[in-house]
Amino acid sequence: MTATTDGSTGAVGPRAAAASEPTDTTTAAAGDLLVAARRATARSVEHLLGRQDAQGWWKGDLETNVTMDAEDLLLRQFLGVLDPRTTEAAGLFIRGEQRADGTWATFYGGPGELSATIEAYVALRLAGDSPDDPHMKRAATWVREQGGIAAARVFTRIWLALFGWWKWDDLPELPPELIFFPKWFPLNIYDFGCWARQTIVPLTIVSAKRPVRPAPFALDELHTDADAPNPVKPLAPVASWDGMFQRLDKVLHAYHKVAPRRVRRIAMNAAARWIIERQENDGAWGGIQPPAVYSVIALHLLGYDLDHPIMRAGLESLDRFAVWREDGARMIEACQSPVWDTCLATIALADAGLSPDHPALVKAADWMIAEEISRPGDWAVRRPELAPGGWAFEFHNDNYPDIDDTAEVILALRRVRHPVPARLDAAVERGARWTLGMQSRNGAWAAFDADNTSPFPNRMPFCDFGEVIDPPSADVTAHVVEMLAYEGMAQHPDTRRGIEWLLAEQEASGAWFGRWGVNYVYGTGSVVPALTAAGLPVTHPAIRRAVRWLESVQNDDGGWGEDLRSYREEKWIGHGASTASQTAWALLALLAAGGRESRSVERGVAWLAETQREDGSWDEPYFTGTGFPWDFSINYHLYRQVFPLTALGRYVNGEPLASGAISRKGS
């Protein structure tokens, strides 16, 4: 059972109470499924309410891969602050993630990954593991078989160069003079996505300084040829983009040797000012770990000592990315997702039937309203006349509110009957206005910036670590369209442009690509509810194609799953072990398409009810979130709770009201 509006226990909420008897009496099985769904919903609500912080927010762990933990140790070794407790705890976690073949993967069940394996190996050497230990021998052998350190990504080799394990001359050049490029010039810093921009600016300082700290040990065992660890790679044809950028890199290496000292000093100081201006109130940069790590290194190289307030705040912020486990292991989160988790949890609880004025929802709304961003950030470079508004993903990230969070926060706030409705309405209206203003020229929406679609950044030899631009995506655009529909703006010209873009982006299979979630199941589960909320009939050909595709990829057990390898291998599209979050995404689409009584929906709901744990939660070791498709994968630990509850709630209670009717001005 779960708490009702007055704090007592009983049915999930008013809509659940009104549906206390099965509406479909054609078969006993349908009635039994509805009973099971209600029971699962009530248990899930109770579980989720129990996880709310006293301040009103929810946050699940954000699990990525061991490179976060390895680089944290390497940073502390570089700065001379590595302590035994941290080293032991990190080593315990990294060892526990090693696969039987000696490698480390970047997602659960995935293949061994070279760069992750190299970084994990080096971190374990720092933790005291011997290269003669069996688990280390297996790792080193595999690394050599894959081409050794020379075949690793640029970021991995940068970390090794910091200790002399790789030569700076054999890394792509990244000059700090990049900071001088005007906003209209190709490859200016605002041509990069915000996550890449925040990382690249400090790395220009590191690239210029080329520091080398004494290595605590050799790494000859990771080279394919210890005498010639840095082989020369052939250049691509000069007429190709890759060939052009490779030759440009050679020019930049030559420039590094003759760069005027005064110009370089001015450039590094300008980059440092850019970094310092973007440090958040909690000491981090952009709310994510990598920019914080490289910013700390860059500023330290420019003479900021570790006791400087900027540096102290930065190092303290990195400590807050650590999750200490009961077994003493320490996992580093790449980011923290309280705003995202809180809005999704609010939607889930409301759609499960919790009263709109339930104290938990009101507390969550208060916290979200207080998190609204009221000042310009880097997004204003492309939209200088747009008034600020919106929400970020993290506790502190005022420079980079994101469109996806803003859309979902608005959808969450509209589900709450707030005691001061004018305060909620004002925040929503500012957020909706800002979101409309962030529409790209093609009619769609990206995550952080408008029209961040330059073809050049991804071509740079330096940028081999994943997506470095922020083009519009179907999932973000769908969430915006859904939000605008709930705000009564389904017929707004900008909303219609977004819908047209979505319809044009549908794959021949009937699915939509998922940029920020895995993958076509996520994209399709986002788009179909948005299109129906915006008024497309469930008989629309695009909706029916999507339904047929989802039904065709349903697993035999009744659930849905899609492996991360679907980003690279067509055979994995729509296929993978069933997960709670992906099953919920498919159900959200099918329910929105009017398929409540379909066999596919019944099987999916039954799978969720049957796989729920006694405490109301679900288990999900698989990674269903993405930072960069394939290159950087995420297991959001709250996805397995909020999305199944949303799907079950909509199955039990029906679809939420569209056209802004959920909680409009004083309702």
Residues 422 and 566 in one domain: yes
pLDDT (tens digit per residue) in 452-499: 999 888 877 777 777 899 999 999 999 999 999 999 999 999 999 999
Residues 441 and 547 in one domain: yes
Q: Give the tokens for residue 502.
A: 């979505």
Select the more confidently predicted residue: 96 or 247: 96
Q: For residue 251, what is the enclosing H or E element?
A: helix 241-258
Reduced to 3 states, what is the DSSP secondary structure of residue 634?
Answer: strand
- Please, are residues 435 and 407 in contact by the beta-carbon 8 Å criterion? yes
| Residue 322, φ and ψ in degrees, nearest 5 | -85, 135
pLDDT (tens digit per residue) in 484-539: 999 999 999 999 999 999 999 999 999 999 999 999 999 999 999 999 999 999 99
Of the three residues 332, 362, 385, the one that is the final residue of a domain is 332
Percent of the chain exceeding pLDDT 70 equals 92
Q: Are strands 2-3 and 9-10 parallel, antiparallel or unpaired?
A: antiparallel
User: Is residue 309 one of the residues assigned to a domain?
Assistant: yes
- Please, are residues 128 and 94 in contact by the beta-carbon 8 Å criterion? no
d(CA 513, CA 529): 15
pLDDT at 406 over 90: yes
DSSP 200-249: HHHHHHHHHH---PPPSS--GGGSSSTT--SPPPPPPPTTSHHHHHHHHH
Q: Give the tokens for residue 452.
A: 């961040």
Q: Give the tokens for residue 433.
A: 């206005």
Chain mean pLDDT for the chain: 91
User: Is residue 648 one of the residues assigned to a domain?
Assistant: yes
Residues 67 and 54 in one domain: no
The pLDDT value recorded for residue 367 is 98
**DSSP letter (8 states) at residue 483:** H
The pLDDT value recorded for residue 410 is 98
- Report the alpha-carbon angle 285-288-292, nearest 5: 45
pLDDT at 74 over 90: yes
Cα dihedral value 606, 611, 614, 616, nearest 10? -70
In the block, residue with structure tokens 């442009």: 497
- Please, are residues 171 and 158 in contact by the beta-carbon 8 Å criterion? yes
Cα dihedral value 97, 102, 105, 111, nearest 10? -140
d(CA 230, CA 169): 10
Residues 183 and 86 in one domain: yes
* Phi-psi map region of 607: left, alpha, beta (phi>0 left; psi -120 to 50 alpha): alpha
Confidence at 623, pLDDT banded by 50, 70, 90: very high
CA atoms within 13 A on the CB side of 84: 0
Q: Are strands 9-10 and 330-332 parallel, antiparallel or unpaired?
A: unpaired
| Residue 460, φ and ψ in degrees, nearest 5 | -65, 135
Q: CA dist 335 to 34, 68, 320, 598, Å?
A: 38, 10, 10, 39
d(CA 533, CA 657): 8
pLDDT at 8 over 60: no
User: Is residue 658 one of the residues assigned to a domain?
Assistant: no
pLDDT at 606 over 80: yes
pLDDT at 18 over 50: no
Residues 429 and 317 in one domain: no
Percent of the chain exceeding pLDDT 90 equals 84
**Secondary structure of 385-451 in HEC code, one letter for each residue:** CCCCCCECCCCCCCCCCEHHHHHHHHHHHCCCCCCCHHHHHHHHHHHHHHHHHCCCCCCCCCCCCCC
pLDDT (tens digit per residue) in 228-246: 444 556 777 767 766 767 7
DSSP 558-582: S-B---GGGGT-GGGTT-SS-BHHH
Mean pLDDT computed over 371-378: 96
d(CA 184, CA 190): 9
Residues 618 and 515 in one domain: yes
The pLDDT value recorded for residue 655 is 87
Residues 552 and 637 in one domain: yes
Residues 21 and 33 in one domain: yes
Q: In terms of C-beta density within 10 A (0-12 exposed, 13-18 middle, 19 or more buried), how is residue 470 classed?
A: buried
Of the three residues 332, 365, 382, the one that is the final residue of a domain is 332
pLDDT at 326 over 50: yes
Mean pLDDT computed over 593-603: 96
The pLDDT value recorded for residue 12 is 36
Residues 33 and 73 in one domain: no
Domain assignment of residue 107, given as a range: 63-225+237-332
Reduced to 3 states, what is the DSSP secondary structure of residue 48?
Answer: helix
Confidence at 350, pLDDT banded by 50, 70, 90: very high
User: Is residue 32 one of the residues assigned to a domain?
Assistant: yes
Residue 564 CA to chain centroid, in angstroms?
Answer: 14
Reduced to 3 states, what is the DSSP secondary structure of residue 298?
Answer: helix
The pLDDT value recorded for residue 1 is 32
CATH of the domain at 314: 1.50.10.20
Select the more confidently predicted residue: 226 or 270: 270
- Please, are residues 502 and 512 in contact by the beta-carbon 8 Å criterion? yes
d(CA 657, CA 374): 29
The total of structural domains in the chain comes to 2
Mean pLDDT computed over 8-14: 34
User: Is residue 461 one of the residues assigned to a domain?
Assistant: no
CA atoms within 13 A on the CB side of 463: 22
Residues 68 and 56 in one domain: no
| Residue 512, φ and ψ in degrees, nearest 5 | -125, 140
User: Which residues have a catalytic role annotated?
Assistant: 404
The pLDDT value recorded for residue 241 is 66
pLDDT (tens digit per residue) in 257-316: 888 999 999 999 999 999 999 999 999 999 999 899 999 999 999 999 999 999 999 999
Q: For residue 258, what is the enclosing H or E element?
A: helix 241-258
Q: Give the tokens for residue 235.
A: 């250049």
DSSP bridge partners of 573? none
d(CA 455, CA 369): 37
d(CA 256, CA 268): 13
User: Is residue 573 one of the residues assigned to a domain?
Assistant: yes
- Please, are residues 560 and 604 in contact by the beta-carbon 8 Å criterion? yes
Residues 388 and 426 in one domain: yes
Of the three residues 332, 359, 390, the one that is the final residue of a domain is 332
Residues 270 and 368 in one domain: no
The pLDDT value recorded for residue 658 is 57
Alpha helices in 278-387 (DSSP H): 289-301, 309-319, 338-351, 359-370
- Please, are residues 528 and 592 in contact by the beta-carbon 8 Å criterion? yes
User: Is residue 148 one of the residues assigned to a domain?
Assistant: yes
Residue 159: which of 465, 466, 467 has the closest Cα? 465
User: Is residue 181 one of the residues assigned to a domain?
Assistant: yes
Stretch among 207-216, 227-236, 370-379 having the lowest mean pLDDT = 227-236
- Please, are residues 159 and 222 in contact by the beta-carbon 8 Å criterion? no
Residue 421: which of 376, 367, 365 has the closest Cα? 365
With the C-alpha atoms ordered 58, 63, 67, 69, is the resulting torsion angle positive or negative?
positive
